[in-house]
Amino acid sequence: MQEVYRITRRVAASNASVLILGETGVGKELIASAVHRLSHRSGGPFVRVNCGALSESLLESELFGHVRGAFTGAVANRTGRFEAAHGGTVFLDEINSTSLTLQVKLLRVLQEKEFERVGDTSTLRTDARVIAASNRDLMQQVREERFREDLYWRLNVVPIEIPPLRRRREDIPALVSFFLDYYNEVNDRYVVHMGPGVIEAMQAYHWPGNVRELQNYIERAVVMTETDELTVDVLPDCLTGRQRPSDDENEDLSTSDFEALSKYVVQKGLVESGPSDVHSQIVEQIEKELITQVLNSCGGVQTKAATRLGINRNTLHKKMKEFGLDSD
């Protein structure tokens, strides 16, 4: 995140187009807003457009405006977002949702600073800086011919990639503190203490919804907590390991890094193991699974499995007997 902040401060001083990349909920709009606030355009408007929320025809009208009679329901002239953002910044969120036809018109605005309102023939000019964001791999979209390559390179002058929350778990305590302060103020509450295991549970969770999901859980906790202490029991079951992950969460775990997976396994083990001797229970279960999978991958040949595991065959044979595995 320090690298994200460095690039944000650096690019803010320019007029270059910015492409912000990251999963849903990582805070792309906050970075876009920061670029605007730190720029010489900060006195101008910051206009947001969610490209994924509107149909192609409505989005074109939203971006460029329309004249009276341009289509059914157009009873008066309307100013578009690019016109409204003159002298400021326009933020195009979910840019990957735009159609190829609309992308041609966006490319013209980026290159020529010109556009026409829907149903009009006169050309308007705009001095609006463009910041775009996507939660998809735009280069992959280009390969699949769903996104214009020329527009991609015009947007991607300065890319800013925001890492998911599971890759920056050290940020969680500061984020929790911030959201606690905010929702205490909003709800007139005084939840200021952290119960045992709260931060640990949050740092072990894989956060498919990223910072937005964390924000949601803190708001819920502030509302539901009856004392001044946030405890594990007011956290959702999926976070504390009391609930099995859904298929979507399993898919997310499959793309997580090894550290994230290890933390998740240990967290689940702590919840489901007995009150004592948790080290042997968790480690033995993992070791048993490791030996089983290595044996399967080696076709049941113990010599090969022992070599891959880095132990001798006698040790493997002994472990298999301990775990009740077939040693024949």
DSSP 190: -
Rounded Cα–Cα distance for residues 63 and 78 (Å) = 10
pLDDT tens string, the chain, 328 residues long: the values are 999 999 999 999 999 999 999 999 999 999 999 999 999 999 999 999 999 888 877 888 889 987 876 676 776 888 889 999 999 999 999 999 999 999 999 999 999 999 888 888 888 899 999 999 999 889 999 999 999 999 999 999 999 999 999 999 999 999 999 999 999 999 999 998 888 889 988 988 889 999 999 999 999 999 999 889 998 888 888 887 765 545 555 555 555 566 666 766 776 666 555 555 667 767 877 888 888 888 777 777 888 888 888 888 888 888 887 777 765 5
Count the Cβ atoms, other than its own, within 10 Å of residue 64: 24
Rounded Cα–Cα distance for residues 241 and 122 (Å) = 60
Cα–Cα distances (Å) from 294 to 260, 285, 286, 290, in that order, read 22, 14, 12, 6
3-state secondary structure of 117: coil
